[in-house]
Amino acid sequence: MVVLARGRDPEELIKEDIYDVEAWYVLIHKLKEDPIESSRPYFEKLISVFPSCGQYWRIYIEQEIAGGNYAQAESLFDRSLLQVLSIDLWKCYANYLRNCLSKWNFRRVRDAFEFALDKVGLDHQAYAIYNEYVDFLVAANSGGEVKFDESVATIRGVYLRAINTPMAKHGQLWKRYCAFEQKVDMRQANDRIAGVMPMYLKIQQVSLQMDAVMCNVDRKHVSVPCSNSAFENEQIVAWREFIAWEHSNPLQLADYCLHARRVIYAYEQALLCFSFHVEFWCEAVEFLQHSADKMFELAMEDAGRNAHKDAAALFERAINSSMKKTLLIYCLYAEFEEGCNRHTNVHSIFKRFISLRDVDPSLAYIHYMKFANRTEGIRSVRTIFKAAREDGRVKSEVYVVAALLEYFGNQDASVAVRIFELGLKKFPSDSDFALSYTNFLLHFNEDASIRVLFERVLSSGNLPLEKSIALWDQYIDFESRIGGLTGITKVSERRQEALSRQFGEMPTALLVDRYRFMDLMPAPEDDLRMLGYPELISMSRSYELNANKNDKLGSSAIVQPDLSHMIPFKPRRICRGFFHPVPGGDFPPPPSTTRILSMIPPPRCFDGPFVKVDELLSKLRDFDLSTSSAESEAAEKANNRERNDLLRQTAYPSRAADREIAYGVHLTSNAVSKVAEQDDEKLMVYSPPVHDIYLRRRQKKL
């Protein structure tokens, strides 16, 4: 049974972490040896976990083709080709067309190749697709399936299309095109080549730039949830550089539609490797919307409508795959549909997210109610809020938004107060909701109602002490602004009594909040430190909201560590060896190991097979070199004979003998040794150079 170097079965590791790429790699190699009928469920699970990995789709399809299941293979092509614009997958499709379908229907295969070029013809590695297409057309021409003139025109069109596209191996396509023109018509070949030469030189320069930009991109990276590793961050930077390069329009295209296609294709390639990174999805749909608006400005009505359709399709892909539980994509999608005046679609988008079981729907309900208030009025808001109240997952923020929409949208304070009261009964220990309620009542200048609310909440005993600090701060601030001295003193004493259990006896420090206003303090900074006031207000909400402004009160009293000697934290998905000698962080390897690691390729360059190191070392340890057999003695004699023959033929046998001795080989032939000594004596004879000017001058003097 195939196991990992960690000594674990890959299926067990996959159960622990379904995104363990290494375990999936070992399992795939195991599945290749089994019949496709038994391994098909595993492959289905594989592509459901990694739906954007073209390499896994290709392996699955190749297994179906190897088993002769062409119908299943074509079904997999239908499921993957339009969703996964991976060059590996499309190469597999091109090979399938040429090897399995070309003998059945020439026009169908030709149309399929044209379809492939429309989808991935802009790829950096599209050379293989163009090459397969040309070979197919040449074979069809030699077989007499099409007319000669028609075939030549089609092949020439494919070559010109490829030459006009920057890609890797662009020069090889140019050489093939020149040979093609020479073969078709030698008299007109030079004129045709000269006419295409300026375009080739321009595209060749862009191809070299593209090679330089893509050299740091690992296109075989499998999309997994964000790990924030160093390699992942490097790849994100590399993809952003490539996307920015496409945004800069290096081809200086006047056709905006073609430029937009190239940029969107760059985003599509980045999403294949980083489908769990929401920023690539957001940037892609934002660019599609921007390009659609610009196309409408340029009077490209059809192109603009197609861009809008592509944006909607991209949103659907996102929420049906890795962004299924990301509310940000749903909100952008709803805003896009609202801009297109498709309000029914907006309702269905929000309901799709709310219907998910393992998500927090509170924020979705909030934006859903805001949309309904904008487009349909307060009655629709009440319907949505009624559904939210019946949903046990919602938080208190939904009640706050519903109350504010009732007050500001319908100008009805009584309904808003009833909603706040309902929320206070449902969330009695939520200090944030109580603060929102008191802030709402402060707009009406109803002092009695506000005091009653403060007393109800603070004396109920439902709020933990650490959560009641902000409410006490707001109560003392309220009494300081509109209350009398007696009320201020009573609230201050009650506050001191309540907070003394948290901070101890600090009566003077607790008085500071009674007389402060915003950032204005009633005592110097040194006195506040002596009182321990910075430590007190660090527990309150008011201090957290103004932390950046109040740093001068507490930062200088704390000794800051020297961060220059600290090692940056670089999380790794799978840490082995010396990276975790003790729990708590990553540590650098020893200097000697660092030097060796700098000379060998990185681990990601090695794809297997994985050696069982313990078994290999045990075999080497148990191997006995002292034993000899008749076969080994005969082999040694044959080697000595062959070595002596080679030494007789060499021009410098002494040097060869020295080299053999340096490597631990002992010569056994006396004749060879004598020849070596004679050659050494010959080499010892001094032979002056032919044009030795110093020797001639000395001879003249003599």
Q: What is the 3-state secondary structure (H, E, C) of 223-290?
A: CCCCCCCHHHHHHHHHHHHHHHHHHCCCCCCCCHHHHHHHHHHHHHHHHHHCCCCHHHHHHHHHHHHH
Of the residues 193, 215, 237, which one is the last residue of a structural domain? 215
Evaluate whether residue 304 is within a structural domain.
no
Q: How far apart are CA 472 and CA 540, in angstroms?
A: 9
| Same structural domain, 126 and 211 | yes
| Same structural domain, 34 and 140 | no
Cα dihedral sign, 75-76-80-85: negative
- Residue 517 forms beta bridges with which residues? 520
Percent helix, strand and coil across the chain, each to the nearest 5: 70, 0, 30
- Span 128-152, pLDDT tens digits: 999 999 998 888 877 666 677 788 8
| Same structural domain, 184 and 207 | yes
| Same structural domain, 80 and 119 | no
Question: What does the pLDDT average to over 334-363?
Answer: 94
Of the residues 215, 250, 269, which one is the last residue of a structural domain? 215
Q: How far apart are CA 307 and CA 313, in angstroms?
A: 10
Evaluate whether residue 340 is within a structural domain.
no
Taking each helix axis from N to C end, the angle separating 230-247 and 256-273, rounded to the nearest 10 degrees, works out to 170
- Span 468-485, pLDDT tens digits: 777 877 777 787 777 778
- Span 591-641, pLDDT tens digits: 888 888 878 877 767 666 777 888 888 888 887 766 556 666 776 776 677
| Same structural domain, 79 and 114 | no
| Same structural domain, 134 and 182 | yes
Q: Looking at residue 550, what is its pLDDT?
A: 45
Tokens representing residue 470 in the block = 């902000």
Q: What is the mean pLDDT of the chain?
A: 81
Q: Looking at residue 429, what is its pLDDT?
A: 84
Evaluate whether residue 444 is within a structural domain.
no
Q: How far apart are CA 217 and CA 214, in angstroms?
A: 5
Share of the chain above pLDDT 90, in %: 45
- Span 226-276, pLDDT tens digits: 888 889 999 999 999 999 999 999 999 999 999 999 999 999 999 999 999
| Same structural domain, 23 and 128 | no
Evaluate whether residue 34 is within a structural domain.
yes
∠ CA 469-472-476, rounded to 5°: 140
- What CA–CA distances, in Å, run from 198 to 194, 279, 389? 8, 39, 69
- Residue 520 forms beta bridges with which residues? 517
Q: Looking at residue 103, what is its pLDDT?
A: 60
Question: What does the pLDDT average to over 116-134?
Answer: 93
Q: How far apart are CA 271 and CA 280, in angstroms?
A: 7
Torsion from C-alpha of 547, 551, 553, 554, nearest 10 degrees: 90
Q: State how many domains the chain has.
A: 2
> Residue 175 maps to which CATH number?
1.25.40.10
Evaluate whether residue 202 is within a structural domain.
yes
Largest CA distance in the chain: 131
Q: Looking at residue 564, what is its pLDDT?
A: 62
pLDDT band at 3 (very low <50, low <70, confident <90, very high): very low
| Same structural domain, 107 and 195 | yes
Q: Is the pTM here over 0.75, yes or no?
A: no
- Span 18-51, pLDDT tens digits: 999 999 999 999 888 889 999 999 999 999 999 9
Q: Looking at residue 100, what is its pLDDT?
A: 77
Q: Looking at residue 635, what is its pLDDT?
A: 66
Residue 685 pLDDT greater than 60, yes or no: no
Q: How far apart are CA 358 and CA 29, in angstroms?
A: 34
| Same structural domain, 72 and 102 | no
Q: CB of 615 within 8 A of CB of 622?
A: no
Residue 74 belongs to domain spanning: 1-84
| Same structural domain, 124 and 174 | yes
Amino acid (one-letter) located at 453: L
| Same structural domain, 66 and 103 | no
pLDDT band at 503 (very low <50, low <70, confident <90, very high): low
> Which helix H or strand E contains 380, and what residues bound it?
helix 378-390
For residue 436, with 0-12 CB atoms within 10 Å meaning exposed, 13-18 middle and 19 or more buried, which class applies? buried
| 539: helix, strand or coil | coil
- Span 543-572, pLDDT tens digits: 344 444 444 444 444 556 666 666 665 555
Neighbour tally for 123: CB within 10 Å: 22
Q: How far apart are CA 645 and CA 667, in angstroms?
A: 12
- What CA–CA distances, in Å, run from 558 to 246, 404, 550, 551? 49, 43, 14, 11
| Same structural domain, 22 and 72 | yes
Q: How far apart are CA 200 and CA 598, in angstroms?
A: 40
Closest CA to 380 of 368, 392, 363, 393: 368
Q: Looking at residue 675, what is its pLDDT?
A: 43
Q: Looking at residue 325, what is its pLDDT?
A: 93
Q: Looking at residue 399, what is its pLDDT?
A: 95
Of the residues 199, 215, 231, which one is the last residue of a structural domain? 215
Closest CA to 604 of 89, 218, 57: 218
DSSP for 310-376, written as a single string: HHHHHHHHHHTTTTTT-HHHHHHHHHHHHHTT-HHHHHHHHHHHHT-TTS--HHHHHHHHHHHHHHT
Q: Looking at residue 599, what is its pLDDT?
A: 82
- Span 387-414, pLDDT tens digits: 999 998 999 999 999 999 999 888 778 8
Q: Looking at residue 9, what is its pLDDT?
A: 85
∠ CA 646-652-654, rounded to 5°: 90
Tokens representing residue 87 in the block = 């060059």
In the numeric block, the tokens 């006009």 are attached to 164
Q: How far apart are CA 166 and CA 620, in angstroms?
A: 52
Evaluate whether residue 69 is within a structural domain.
yes
Q: Looking at residue 531, what is its pLDDT?
A: 67
Residue 681 pLDDT greater than 90, yes or no: no
Evaluate whether residue 192 is within a structural domain.
yes
Tokens representing residue 626 in the block = 């002292």
Q: How far apart are CA 48 and CA 137, in angstroms?
A: 36
Evaluate whether residue 3 is within a structural domain.
yes
- For residue 630, report the phi and psi dihedrals to the nearest 5 degrees: -65, -35
